[in-house]
Structures are given as C-alpha cells and as structure tokens.
Amino acid sequence: MPQYIIELLYLLSGILFIMGLRGMSHPATARQGMFYAEFGMLIAIIGTLCQHEIVKWVWIVSGLAIGSILGLVMGLWVPMTAMPQRTAFSHAFGAAAASLVGISEYYRHHHSGIPLPPFIIGALGFEVLLGSLTTTGSLIACGKLQGILPGKPLVFKGQNIFNMTLLACTVGCFVCLFVHPGVTIFFYVMIALALLFGVLLVIPIGSADMPVVMSLLNSYAGLASAATGFALGNNVLIIAGTLDGFSGFILSVLMCKAMNRSMANVLFGAFGSVSEQAEAGPGGEMREIGLEDAATQLAYARQVVFVPGYGMATAQAQHVIRELADTLEERGVTVKYAIHPVAGRMPGHMNVLLAEANVPYSELYELDQINPDFPSTDVAVVVGANDVVNPDARDNASSPIAGMPILEVDRAKLAIVLKRGKGRGFSGLENPLFFKENTAMLYGDAKQTLTNLVQEVHKL
C-alpha cells in the first residue's frame, strides 16, 4: 500500500479519536463516542499492519492473538466494580509497550553504530523514562485497588525529599544520555531509577485517591506514546498519545477540583492517613427507620431524589433502583437522580451504572442543578453514598474535606440513608448527616433493601 494512503488512514483515525473524545463528554453520546474511538483504533491498526518495514509476521500475529484473547477475557469477566484496577492494569501494559519499543530502538541504533540524532535520543529517553515509571506506578495502583497491597498510604520520614532526589537523579541520567548518547550506562540506570520512582510515587497515596493517580499515569503513558511516535516517525502515535496525555491530565485536574484538593495534596498529602486522625465525629444517636415506614414515605411523596454512591456500585443495585423509581413514578411521584462528579471510585462511575440500567438521561441531575431542589424534595434516598453527602465539607472549615462540593441532602424534608452499617466513606470521616433529625438510617445491603422497598411499595 502506498505510504500516502497509510498516512491518510492515520489522519482518519486521529479524527475519529477526537470525535470519540467529544462523544464521551456527554452520557447521551458516550456510546457513539466509544464506537468512533474503537473504529479509529481499528483503522490505526490496519494502517500499521500495511507498513513496508514489516519483515516477519509471526511476532505480530502472535501479539495480536494474545492481546485479543486477554482483552476479551478481561472485557467479559472483570466486573464493573473492578474497572478501576482493570484500567490501571491496562495502563501498565501500554506504558510497558512504549518503554520496550524505546529500549529496542536504542539497542538497534547503538549496535548499528550509527549515532542517534539529538532529537531522537531526546524522544527515546523521554519515552522510556515516562513509560518505565508509569509501568510500575500503574501496577502498584492496580495492587492497591485490588487489595493485594495495603490501600493505606505507606509513608516514611523524609519520603518527599527522597522521592524528589530520586526523580532528580533519573532526570540527571536522561540529561547525561542526551549529551552522551553512546554511553549505555546512563540509559539503563535511568530505566532502573524510573522503575523505582514509579513504585515510590504511588505507595504514599491512599487507594481512594488512586483514580486521580491513574488518570495522571494514563496521561504519562499517553505522552510516552507521543514520544514513541516522534522517535519512530509515526503520526498516529503522536496524535493519539498527545490526545491521551492531555485528556488524562485535564481529567486529573477536574477530579481534584471536584474534591476541592490540589494535585500536590493528592500526590504528596498521604490523604488516607490524615483522615484516620480526624475526629470521631459529632456523636449522638442515629435514628433508624423500618422498611414499612420508609416505603410509606416514598409512596406518598411528591418528589423523591435518589443519590447513588460507591455502595450502589458494590451492591450492584442500579437495576433495582430503576425498578423502585418506576414503581414510584407509576404512583405519580416525581423521581430524580442526583449525580456527584466523584461519587463512586472513577469518573462517570454513577452515569455508567445508571445507563446500564437504562435510567433516562433526562432524570439525571448534576450537583448545581439538583442542590436548589433539595429543600422542596420530600425524600432524598442516599444509596451507599457517604462523603459526597457529608455536610461537614460545607459547614466545618477544619474538616479534611472542607470545601468539597456536596449534594445537600440534609436540606431535604427527609433523608433516608441506605447502608450496611456504621462504615465510613473513603475519607474515613464520620458523617454528621447521619445524626440529623431529618435523617433516618435503613440498614442492609443496598440491593436487598431496595428490593424489599419495591415489594413494600407494591403492597400500599
């Protein structure tokens, strides 16, 4: 195939990636966006398979077969709740691939005896450095999210200074390599230090902050791929890597904003350990409500707002929420869903789950849209959410989550909280909402409780 056709295919896939990202910016177009992005990837693969430089197909076909089988298995069997660690695992693969390409290019050039131009050695060094630290960083993130490694921040004295020194040494090796491309020791020491830095960068971060870290690591993997594109002269890698790099970075910034935390606080604040020292909470009694009473409140309400959180994801209660909402709507109750940007454990977590249950987009309300509605809401049903409805974030300036925007369910006439027991949210903080007079606790697994509520409402 002529080279210009391959370049056109790359251009087309770049356009499809951009259309994909645009589509994914809204729940209603997200599916279509995914389709564009997948199609773009298929075209990029076809373009790459038509390259003239391919001398042997055996490795390529084996790689395609192994990758497809692994992807299929992960896609079919990994549950939605394990999606964050699955994504971290994929990032590790992507970053390792970028590093290995860089290492093989360096090795090839070094042994051919042809000196590497400064631009190429710069791109290769950048690719391998970022790729290596992203590989180990993503594996640690995956281990923490899966519970294989301790989720709490692992901290030691002088950690930040040690890490900064390590990073400076790694970058120092990169600079030396740039000046003396033929001195291989700089290259291999840089890789070793970057691999170690990836581990040390992620261990002091609590598992709850992992989504931010992962999207940051995703952005590094994207930039490493863009650098690979420069080193190989491959346009689609440059486009896709740059899109990945910057969209990942923007996503990290947005998540930090939604939690009212700075990036530095997420990366160097060891957040989980800080929260454990937080005070025990307001004290007092939590009021319980029985199933029948809760069903009566819901059945005779004018407006009910469901507030899903991480507990809905772990209970897989999205379908039964929809069932309860349908039952209430049949009785003339107005039903809305309040979506907090960081509810759950990954961006868009609640949107994805509710879309899976075919909840209409018109019933989903963002924070700014729904908060003014709470005072006129008869019942707010909190389904496994905790931190995103913690009024301390609004009322207590000394709270570790002070300033984080919340869903103001405490302003509803009645808030019914569905959770299993007295467990805390990821921040480890007590939630004064649970002690308020207009709050009632309905204990049990969210899915089971909602199923029981549907039956009770039907009886009325």
Task: Name the segment binding ligand NAP (CB under 6 A); options: 99-107, 129-137, 268-276, 380-388.
Answer: 380-388
Q: Which is nearer to ligand NAP, 105 or 244 (CB)?
A: 244
Q: Quick one: residue 412, left, alpha or beta (phi over 0 = left, psi -120 to 50 = alpha)?
A: beta
Residue 259 as a binder of ligand NAP (CB under 6 A): the answer is yes
Q: Which is nearer to ligand NAP, 44 or 208 (CB)?
A: 208
- Phi/psi of residue 335, nearest 5 degrees: -115, 135
Closest contact distance (angstroms) between CB of 311 and ligand NAP is: 3
Task: Name the segment binding ligand NAP (CB under 6 A); options: 10-18, 41-49, 94-102, 340-348.
Answer: 340-348
Closest contact distance (angstroms) between CB of 21 and ligand NAP is: 18
Residue 387 as a binder of ligand NAP (CB under 6 A): the answer is yes
Residue 151 as a binder of ligand NAP (CB under 6 A): the answer is no
Bridge partners, residue 364, by sequence: 337
Angstrom distance (rounded) from CA 248 to CA 271: 21
Q: Which is nearer to ligand NAP, 227 or 313 (CB)?
A: 313
Closest contact distance (angstroms) between CB of 446 and ligand NAP is: 4
Structure tokens of 359? 């909840």
- List the interface residues with ligand NAP, window 50-69 (CB under 6 A): none
Closest contact distance (angstroms) between CB of 254 and ligand NAP is: 9
**Nearest C-alpha neighbor of 239 from the set 44, 89, 25:** 44
Angstrom distance (rounded) from CA 82 to CA 207: 13
Angstrom distance (rounded) from CA 233 to CA 119: 11
Q: Where are the alpha helices (DSSP H) in 26-117?
A: 27-49, 58-77, 83-112
Residue 347 as a binder of ligand NAP (CB under 6 A): the answer is yes
- List the interface residues with ligand NAP, window 180-239 (CB under 6 A): 208-209, 211-212
As a residue count, the chain comes to 460
Contacts with ligand NAP by CB under 6 A: the residue count is 35
Which entry of 209, 244, 387, 410 is annotated as an active-site residue? 387
Angle at which helices 184-202 and 83-112 cross, to 10° = 170
What distances in angstroms separate CA 54 from CA 47, 99, 111, 112, one per listed residue?
12, 20, 20, 19
Angstrom distance (rounded) from CA 293 to CA 296: 5
What lies within 8 Å, CB to CB, of 422 at 6+ separation is: 286
Residue 272 as a binder of ligand NAP (CB under 6 A): the answer is no
Does 373 qualify as catalytic in the annotation?
no
Task: Name the segment binding ligand NAP (CB under 6 A); options: 9-17, 309-317, 364-372, 432-440.
Answer: 309-317
**Nearest C-alpha neighbor of 138 from the set 92, 194, 192, 201:** 92
- Binds ligand NAP by CB under 6 A, chosen from 224, 346, 379, 414: 346
Asked if 226 and 249 count as a contact pair (C-beta separation under 8 A), the reply is: no
- Binds ligand NAP by CB under 6 A, chosen from 96, 145, 227, 255: 255
Residue 251 as a binder of ligand NAP (CB under 6 A): the answer is no
Which of the residues are catalytic? 387
Chain contacts with ligand NAP (rule: CB under 6 A): 208-209, 211-212, 255, 259, 309-311, 314-315, 342-347, 349, 384-388, 418-427, 445-446
